[in-house]
Amino acid sequence: MAPSGSNLNLEYLIPARGLIGFRSQFLTDTKGEGVMHHLFDSYGLWKDGIGQHRQGSLVAFEDGDATAYGIHNVEDRGVLFVVPGEKIYTGMVIGIHHKDDDLDINVCKKKHLTNMRSSNADEAIRLVPPLRFSLEQAMEFIAEDELVEVTPQTIRMRKKVLDRTTRARLRKKP
């Protein structure tokens, strides 16, 4: 640690894998004021103990197109990555859960039409804009049981095991 004018320089020797996902946390901690620079020093022995706090994922359990009605019904569960009309498949990670565990949800749910109307039922649904990740941010976000899919049009995240019953069975095994 060395002062440099009104700034403070900190020097660390850490494994490169410890930097994955650290940039966004660093900018949050320094309120955007921090500057980070890194250089390769040497190869070393494997070190344990790099922890990572992670929130759970919102995972789609039905194929189809996302609907505004379905998205609106699950917005209170977490932050979503999808917009109405986007193609969704089973096992696709479509959001960040507010809690630490994964949650299977359905954003393809359609509103059932009836003859009964109420005064406020036909108001337009207002949705929170989706969170979009760059490739680096997606790699930071994924857990051990998730993958990043890169296509020319999109960057998507998905579970390694797409079927939710199989995932549940694997979680229960010791």
Query: Does 11 map to a domain?
Result: no
Q: Helix, strand or coil for residue 171?
A: helix
Backbone angles phi, psi at 170, to 5 degrees: -70, -35
Residue 109 falls inside a structural domain: yes
Rounded (to 5) percent helix, strand, coil in the chain = 20, 20, 60
Overall average pLDDT of the 77-83 stretch: 91
Task: Give the pLDDT confidence score for residue 46 in this predicted structure.
Answer: 81
Domain of residue 168 covers 57-113+122-172
Specify if 7 maps to a domain. no
CATH at 108: 2.40.50.250
Q: Taking a C-beta distance cutoff of 8 angstroms, is the pair 44, 15 a contact?
A: yes
> Rounded to two decimals, what is the model's pTM?
0.70
Number of domains making up the chain: 1
Distance CA 106, CA 90 (A): 9
**Per-residue pLDDT tens over the stretch 22-59:** 777 788 788 888 888 888 888 888 877 666 657 889 99
Cα–Cα nearest to 100, from 55, 141, 144, 58: 55
**AA identity, residue 174:** P
> What pLDDT was estimated at residue 133?
87
